[in-house]
Structure 1
Amino acid sequence: MKKIALSFLIVAGLVVAAIFSVHYFYNTQAEKIAKKTENYLIDKENKKKEDMKEIKGIRSKGGDYGILVRVIYKNNPNVHYFYKSYKGKITYDGKEDLSKAKEPGLKGRQG
Structure 2
Amino acid sequence: MRLKKIALSFLIVAGLVVAAIFSVNYFYNVQAEKIADKTESYLLNKENKKKEDIKEIKGIRSKGGDYGILVRVIYKDNPNVHYFYKSYKGKITYDGKEDISKAKEPKLN
TM-score (ref. length: structure 2): 0.95
Partner of 1:78: 80
Query: Which one-letter code corresponds to 1:78 in the other structure?
Result: N
* Residue aligning to 1:17: 19
Deviations 1:76-106 (A, max 9, x none): 0000000000000000000000111121218
Distance 1:4 1:101 in 2: 53
Tell me the matched-pair count.
106
SS of match in other structure, 2:20: helix
Distance 1:28 1:87 in 2: 17
How far the C-alpha of 1:2 sits from its partner, in A, is: 0.8
What 5-or-longer segments of structure 2 have no aligned partner? none
Tell me how far apart the structure 2 counterparts of residues 83 and 33 of structure 1 sit (CA, whole Å).
9
Aligned equivalents of 1:100, 1:2: Cα separation in 2? 59
- Which residues of structure 1 form unaligned runs of 5+? 107-111
The separation in 2 between residues aligned to 1:6 and 1:102, in whole angstroms, is 52
- Give runs of ≥4 in structure 1 deviating > 6 Å: none
TM-score calculated relative to the size of structure 1:
0.94
